[in-house]
Each structure stands twice: as C-alpha cells, then as structure tokens.
Amino acid sequence: MIFTIAGKELKALFASPLAWVVLTFMQIVLAFGFLKRLDDFMQIQPQLIQVPNPPGITELVVGPVYATTAVVLLFAVPLLAMRLIAEERRNQTMVLLVSAPLSMTEIVLGKFIGLMGLLLLVVGITTLMPLSLLLGGRLDFGLLASLIIGVALLAACFAAVALYASCLTEHPFAAAMIAFGLLLGMLLAGETAADGLRGRGWPVPAALAQVLSPLKNFETFAKGVLDSYSIACMLLLIATFLILAIRRLDAVRLRG
C-alpha cells in the first residue's frame, strides 16, 4: 500500500501546474549555472595547464552545479511538498485515507516516497549535464558519485521536514512558509550551535547539533568524501521528522 500511495502522489505532482513551474525554474537556473561555470573553465584552462596537479572539470564545473542544486532545493522542496497533507485536510479527503485500512506510517511513507520520486528525477536530470562533458573531457566519477549521493540525501532531508510542515496546517501556502522557516532556522541554528559548542570545548554536543545542519553535512560529499557521520546525521534527521509527521497525524485522527 505504501507504493500505491507513492504512485498516486507522484501522478498528482506531475498533474500539478505548480510542480511543472517549479521544475522548469529549477532547470533554467541549473542550466544557466552549468553553462556559466563551463564558460569560466574554458577561459582559465590555459592558466590551469601551467599549474602542477590542477583541479579538473569535475571540481570546477560539476561540483558548483550540485552546490547550486542544494540551494535551489531549499526553496523548491517546500513548494512541492506543501500540498501533500495540507490539501488532503483542506479538501476533507484525509478522512478517506484515515478510514481506509492504512496506518499513519504507511500514509506518511507513501507520500514521502512519492515526493522523493520526483526529487530523484530532478537529481537525475541534473546529472545529465555533467555527463554530457564526457563527449569532450574526463570526469572524476568518484567525486560525481559522492555529489549525487549527497544531493539525494539532502533532498530527502528537505522532503521530510516539508512533509512534517504540511501536517501542521490545512493551508498549503502556510505549510510551504512553515517548511521554509523550519529549514532556514535549522540551518542557521545548527551551524551557530555547533560552532558555539565546539568553541566551549564540547565536541560531543557540537557533533549532535550538526544533525540540524544538513547543508553542513553536504559539504563532505562536495569534497568527494562519503563520511559515515554525515550520512548518519542526515538519516537521523529524515527519520526524526517522518516520526514527528506520523505522530502529528495520529494526534489529528484522535481529535477527529
């Protein structure tokens, strides 16, 4: 049933004009950034030849494209996720889901997987741009794989937070604002708290605070390092907000 709900949500997302507008805007921004970085690389290539062990096209072109993707997802995911639960509640169709032989866990996971299907498609389309460079150059596939995994995990973090925000209200636009506020607050608070605790000589609490800063955890992937701690932080963040979403829907069901 989880994948049935996921398929339904994926179809609903593709049927939404807003989703197409957001996807089009994302691709325009990412394509412009990719072409701009590629043009800059071509201009400085003569200087790079004179440098021993110069950075390659993967570091100078592909890496920044995925960094831009991470920032764009911060704005796009709340818009794509805002209607997942909020619109169901506003249209009174949530009652049908609750009355069906489904648990809240199946509903939340189904909607999360449906949204992730769309976000992974975005990551896949973005990956086609650096792969096109194989026609005239070489890529560092290790770094490329690390970037893809990092962006996919980052998208999952944003999706889990945005899904929880959609459970808090019946108004999709309000859900998008709450999600963006949560993500921005987490990024700023997590970074500040980690630095402050580390400065006080408390490495363990500082490491725990890093869970709230998914963009900080993405930095290790951007360096081509599959850091197990960063992966664990991201997975913990995803699980936490999915559990919060499940608990929130359980509370709504008990209140009727």
pLDDT tens-digit series, residues 41-57: 888 877 767 767 767 78
CA–CA distance, 232 with 133 (Å, rounded to integer): 32
Band of residue 155 on the pLDDT scale cut at 50, 70, 90: very high
Residue 256 has pLDDT above 60, yes or no: no
Higher-scoring residue by pLDDT: 157, 217: 157
Q: Which residue has the tokens 């949530």?
A: 94
**pLDDT averaged over every residue in the chain:** 84
Q: What pLDDT shows up at residue 148?
A: 94
178 contacts 169 by C-beta, under 8 angstroms: yes
Q: Residue 111, Cα to own-chain centre: how many angstroms? A: 15
Contact predicate 1/106, CB 8 Å: yes
> What are the tens digits of pLDDT across the range 193-244?
666 666 666 666 666 666 777 888 888 888 888 888 889 889 999 999 999 9
pLDDT, tens digit (0-9, with 9 covering 90-100), for 9-21: 888 888 888 888 8
How many independent structural domains does the chain possess? 1
Q: pTM to 2 decimals?
A: 0.89
Answer whether 124's CB lies under 8 Å from 204's CB.
no
Q: How far apart, in whole angstroms, are the C-alpha atoms of residue 155 and residue 58?
A: 21
Residue 118: predicted pLDDT:
92
Helical pair 228-255 and 141-166, crossing angle rounded to 10 deg? 20
CA-based nearest residue to 153, from 116, 186, 125, 111: 116
| Of 44, 252, 50, residue with least CA distance to 168 | 252
Cα separation values, 166 from 19, 35, 41, 81, 134, Å: 16, 35, 42, 7, 41
Domain that holds residue 93: 2-255
What confidence tier does 73 reach under pLDDT thresholds 50, 70, 90?
very high
- Residue-level pLDDT at 78: 93
When pLDDT is cut at 50, 70 and 90, the band that residue 164 belongs to is very high
